[in-house]
Amino acid sequence: MNEKIKNYPKTEFFEAIDTIGVPHPFCITPKHVAHASDNYSGMLGDAAIQSLETKLGRPTCGVQDCNLTYDQHEQALLVKCKTKDEALTKAYLESIVEQCQKDGFAGFTLMLDKSLE
C-alpha cells in the first residue's frame, strides 16, 4: 500500500484506501523475471525493469499493444465512496485535489461501497 494515502482525510462517506494503475497497472512478464534473476539477484524492482527497457530499447509492459514505458505508468488515488450524493462527492474531491497533485498522483477514482449497489 502506498504510504501517501495516510495523508488523506477519512470521513463518514469517503476514505482513500489504495492506489490504482493508470491507464492500467504495469504488467510484469517472464522477460522481467529472467532479467532480474540474471542481473539483480532476483530483485524485481524499479531498477531491474528500467534496465531491461534500456537494454531492449523499448517499453516492456506486458499488456497487449501497450507502448508506455515503466515510468509512464502512473498511479491514481482509489477513494472508497459510501454515498451517491454528487455535491458531497464533489466537495470531498475538491478538498483533496491539491494534495493529490502534490503527491504525484495522476488523479483519483471512486469505488462505490457495495452496500450502495
* Contacts for 111-114: CB closer than 8 Å, 24+ residues apart: 111/17, 111/78, 111/79, 111/80, 111/81, 112/81, 112/84, 113/80, 113/81, 113/82
Q: Which three cell numbers stand for residue 82?
A: 459510501
**How does pLDDT run across 100-115, given as a tens digit for each residue?**
999 999 999 999 988 8
* CATH number of the domain where residue 101 is located: 3.30.70
Q: Which residue has the higher pLDDT, 116 or 44?
A: 44
On whether both 66 and 83 belong to a single domain, the answer is: no
Please report the pLDDT score of residue 98 as a whole number.
Answer: 95
The length of the chain, given as a count of residues: 117
Please report the pLDDT score of residue 3 as a whole number.
Answer: 82
Quick check: pTM over 0.85?
no
Domain that holds residue 95: 1-23+74-117
Q: How many CA atoms lie within 13 A of 8 on its CB side?
A: 29
On whether both 59 and 85 belong to a single domain, the answer is: no
**How does pLDDT run across 4-61, given as a tens digit for each residue?**
888 899 999 999 999 999 999 999 999 999 999 999 999 999 999 999 999 999 999 9
Q: Indicate if the pLDDT at residue 2 is higher than 80.
A: no
Please report the pLDDT score of residue 79 as a whole number.
Answer: 96
* Distance separating alpha carbons of residues 1 and 19, to the nearest angstrom: 7
